[in-house]
Structure 1
Amino acid sequence: MKTRSWKVYGVEGHRQSESFCKSLKYDFSNEKEGIRIIEVENADKTGTNEYSIIRITRDTAKECAKELDGQLSDGIFENSRIGKIEEIL
């Protein structure tokens, strides 16, 4: 099991629209896909609308990165204008 986290900023000069939503946690884990947990911390936890923090737990680091790509394109951030993405180490 591996957990990776990223700050997802809004496009330059704009706040991250997702950050205005309530923070959330989904656990889609099952026997077929293995561990699949997605957490998003928004302004109600971070205190800022500059970015949201997405924390992804999967079986491998590579699966975490692939999940992030999916969440940016047609998942949690699909209706957001994405700027800088920075991994939190």
Structure 2
Amino acid sequence: MVTRAWKVYGTEGHRQRESFFPSYQYDFSNEQNGTRIIEVDNFDKTGTHDYSIVRITRDTAKLCAAELNGQISDGIFENSRVGQILEVLP
């Protein structure tokens, strides 16, 4: 298992819409897709509305990156204006 994390900012001059919701974690893991855990830290944990921190645990680093791309376009952030995305290194 590999866990990667990113700060997902709102577009320049805008706060991150997602950050106004409570933080949460979902575990979609199953035998078919393997490990698939998504955690989102929002204002209640980060203290800022500038970004949300998305932590993704999958079986490989490539699957983590692919999951993030999916969440940006079609998942967590589909109704948000996404700006800069910075990986948070351990």
Structure 1 position 15, deviation (Å):
0.2
Match of 2:69 in 1: 69
Which string of whole-angstrom CA distances, capped at 9 and with x for unpartnered residues, describes residues 22-74 of structure 1?
A: 10100000000000000000001000000000000000000000000000000
Q: Which runs of 4+ in 1 moved over 6 A?
A: none
Structure 1 position 21, deviation (Å):
0.4
Q: Extract unaligned runs of 5+ from structure 2.
A: none
Inter-partner Cα distance in structure 1 for 2:78 and 2:18: 10
Scaled by the length of structure 1, the TM-score of the pair is 0.99
Q: Extract unaligned runs of 5+ from structure 1.
A: none
Which amino acid in the other structure matches residue 39 of structure 1?
Answer: E
C-alpha RMSD of matched pairs (Å): 0.3
Match of 2:87 in 1: 87
Scaled by the length of structure 2, the TM-score of the pair is 0.98
Which amino acid in the other structure matches residue 2 of structure 1?
Answer: V
